């Protein structure tokens, strides 16, 4: 699963802060949707492990993500290969310095579906997903986080299932496991989350460095 595919899957995975009073599944769903309704932007550091089942191979990555209402996003991968994935809500740029090129496409197509609806996806949790606790008998993990098992109502090849571990007090996402139709997985952990810090729009535009080739995104 490539970085762009992983990015699109990850846009639904971050939760805003809200007081926690949830006890039942309905309570958790209600509070998650309410938290997303209050979010306008987000910054977080992330680590990622992408597991390819057929190759029995795991590839680690890490970086920083910036997200803002209106489909704006910026993912900066630092390791193992530097890469920037940027969108202003209309266009999507994927810049790979090692290749000396930037791929450009329409964001409305690339970010279609629940995987691309950063603020709206979990803001409409019941509309987008079938929701259950991963373990109804023990709905929290050993760290006290709620663990939700989400199946999209309109599955995509790259998004068949999400398992989310969410802080029971702040609603920040601690861990997410994304499954595709081939049972490949991407496990992401988010830290140093900052909500509604007033991220400027200029952060979500991209100007190719001199000498960089522009290639259509496919």
Give the CATH number for residue 127.
2.50.20.10
Supply angle C-alpha 218, 103, 107, rounded to 5: 70
Report if residue 203 sits inside a domain: no
Other CB atoms within a 10 A radius of the CB of residue 173 amount to 25
198 versus 12: which is more confidently predicted? Answer: 198
User: Given this model, what pLDDT does residue 2 score?
Assistant: 56
Domain contains 206: no
pLDDT at 209 over 80: yes
| Residue 197 CA to its chain's centroid (Å) | 18
Is 207 among the domain residues? no
Look at residue 87 and tell me if it is in a domain: yes
Question: Does residue 24 lie in a domain region?
Answer: yes
Q: How many domains does the chain have?
A: 1
pTM above 0.75, yes or no: yes
Which position has the token pair 């709905």? Answer: 139
Q: What is the pLDDT of residue 3?
A: 56
* pLDDT (0 to 100) of residue 9: 47
Average pLDDT score over residue span 171-193: 88
Domain that holds residue 89: 3-191
What is the number of helices (H) and of strands (E) in the chain?
A: 5, 12
Residue 218 lies in a domain: no
What one-character DSSP code corresponds to residue 49? E
Tokens of 127: 């509309």
Residue 201 maps to a domain:
no
Residue 166 burial (CB count, 10 A):
28
pLDDT digits (tens, 9 = 90+) for 63-116: 998 988 888 889 999 988 999 999 998 899 999 999 999 999 988 755 654 444
Task: Identify the pLDDT of residue 109.
Answer: 58
Q: Residue 69: inside a domain, yes or no?
A: yes
Q: What is the pLDDT of residue 33?
A: 82
Judged on CB neighbours under 10 Å (0-12, 13-18, 19+), 14 is buried
Q: How many CB atoms lie within 10 A of CB 204?
A: 22
116: DSSP letter: G
Q: Does the pLDDT at position 136 exceed 60?
A: yes
From the number of C-beta atoms within 10 Å of its C-beta (0-12, 13-18, 19+), residue 170 rates as: middle
Pairing of β 129-133 and β 146-152 = antiparallel
């Amino acid at each position: 699963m490539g970085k762009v595919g992983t990015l699109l899957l990850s846009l639904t995975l971050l939760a805003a802060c809200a007081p926690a009073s949830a006890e039942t599944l309905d309570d958790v769903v209600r509070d998650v949707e309410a938290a997303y309704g209050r979010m306008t932007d987000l910054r977080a550091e992330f680590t990622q492990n992408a597991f390819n089942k057929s190759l029995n191979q795991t590839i680690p990555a890490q970086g920083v993500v910036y997200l803002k209402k209106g489909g704006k996003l910026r993912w900066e991968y630092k390791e193992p290969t530097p890469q920037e994935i940027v969108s202003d809500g209309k266009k999507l740029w994927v810049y790979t310095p090692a290749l000396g090129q930037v791929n450009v496409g329409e964001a409305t197509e690339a970010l279609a579906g629940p995987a691309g609806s950063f603020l709206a996806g979990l803001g409409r949790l019941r509309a987008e997903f079938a929701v259950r606790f991963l373990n109804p008998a023990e709905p929290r993990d050993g760290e006290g986080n709620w663990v939700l098992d989400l199946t999209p109502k309109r599955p995509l090849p790259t998004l068949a299932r999400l398992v989310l571990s969410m802080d029971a007090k702040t609603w920040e996402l601690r861990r997410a496991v994304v499954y595709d139709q081939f049972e490949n997985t991407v496990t992401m952990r988010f830290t140093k989350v900052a909500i509604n810090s007033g991220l400027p729009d200029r952060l979500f535009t991209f100007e190719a460095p001199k000498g960089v080739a522009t290639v259509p995104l496919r």
